[in-house]
Amino acid sequence: YRAKSYKTGVSVYNEQWGYEAVERLQLVQALGHAIEHDQINIAMQPFVSVESGELTGFEALARWRDTVRDVEISPGTFIPLAEESGLMPAMGRNILRKACETLMRETPDSDLRVAVNISVMQLRQQDFIDDVATILASVGMPASRLELELTESVFAGDVMHIRQVLGTLRDMGVKISIDDFGTGYSSISYLRDFPLDTLKIDQSFVAGLRNGGEGLFSSIVSLAHGLKLSVIVEGVESRNDLDKVLELGGEEIQGFFFSRPIDSRKLGEWLQSHSQHPFTMRRRHLSMA
């Protein structure tokens, strides 16, 4: 490894590498600034009950508009950046707080829940449980209205410790769900050994239903139900997707067919129009009951 000069761009590596390194550094700085100035926002995407068509809650999704360059940066870019640069604890805390505040501001007297994506890195923080308890208390939100979404990466590394942290959170009443299920480590025994409530089937399996993936999809649903986990199906984009999912099972659905993620600042407006035009779940092929 040889250090390179950013000024001249001369190094054993190509120009492109140097450019990316500088870009990246600037992006980390801009992200740090955005976190400090409370510019990371959230969008809320509805969960819908398969049985009733009713709204059951929302997933909070982080959003960042870099105001200097005036561009929207996707969470797929800035979440890993925050994790790698040490900004995640602060950012994650802000997102969690904002998600809870939004839910309590817009739907104070309901049992709608909010699901927040949590990096494994946050679970490893010493004070994560305290953070959650503090935020719930200061917002006045029952723990049962909070769900934490974790990816299968929680099943790697310090499994004993993570399982304990999740156990404590669950004892508090917080729900735990596994996100993007089927795309990561498929250590199925962990689904039994970890304290979990919900399994979110990754959207790629819904896409798979468009060309013969029914067997795989329903196997995942059976697996979840066999382990007493409730199922959320992600990525339902069309009436056609919905009909297939209604046939194959799952308790809740999320996807563009119902709603895109909604800017948290416009959630009140959305809720008002939704109350006039609620979701419907007509099955095209009703079975003989």
* Position 208 contacts ligand C2E (CB under 6 A): no
Decide: is 180 part of the binding site for Mg ion (CB under 5 A): yes
Q: What is the smallest separation between the CB atom of 135 and ligand C2E, expressed in angstroms?
A: 14
Q: Does 117 bind ligand C2E (CB under 6 A)?
A: yes
Is residue 184 part of the contact set for ligand C2E (CB under 6 A)?
no
CB of 277 to Mg ion, least distance (A): 26
Partner interacting with residue 119 (select from ligand C2E, Mg ion, none; CB below 5-8 Å by kind):
ligand C2E
The three-state DSSP-derived secondary structure of the chain is CCCCCCCCCCCCCCHHHHHHHHHHHHHHHHHHHHHHCCCEEEEEEEEEECCCCCEEEEEEEEEEEECCCCEEECHHHHHHHHHHCCCHHHHHHHHHHHHHHHHHHHCCCCCCEEEEECCHHHHHCCCHHHHHHHHHHHHCCCHHHEEEEECHHHHCCCHHHHHHHHHHHHHHCCEEEEEEECCCCCCHHHHHHCCCCEEEECHHHHHHHHHCCHHHHHHHHHHHHHCCCEEEECCCCCHHHHHHHHHHCCCEECCCCCCCCEEHHHHHHHHHHHHHCCCCCCCCCCCCC
**Residue 149 binds Mg ion, judged by CB under 5 A:** yes
Residue 76 beta carbon to ligand C2E: minimum distance, rounded to whole angstroms: 5
Site string for Mg ion, 111-130 (x = CB under 5 A): ------x-------------
Applying CB under 6 A, among 237, 243, 247, 263 the residue interacting with ligand C2E is 237
Neighbour tally for 210: CB within 10 Å: 12
Mask 77-106, x = binds ligand C2E (CB under 6 A)?
--x---------------x-----------
Reduce the secondary structure of 23-41 to three states and give it as a string: HHHHHHHHHHHHHHCCCEE
Supply the minimum distance, in Å, between the C-beta of residue 174 and ligand C2E: 16
Q: Which is nearer to ligand C2E, 18 or 200 (CB)?
A: 200
58-77 residues near ligand C2E, rule: CB under 6 A: 61-62, 74-76
Please identify, using beta-carbon distances, which residue of 18 and 179 lies nearer to ligand C2E: 179
Question: Cα–Cα distance between 97 and 279 in angstroms, integer?
Answer: 28
Per-residue binder mask for Mg ion (CB under 5 A), 197-236, x = binder: -------------------------------------x--
Residues that bind Mg ion (CB under 5 A): 117, 149, 179-180, 234
Residues that bind ligand C2E (CB under 6 A): 45, 61-62, 74-76, 79, 95, 117-119, 149, 179-180, 203, 234-237, 254-256, 261
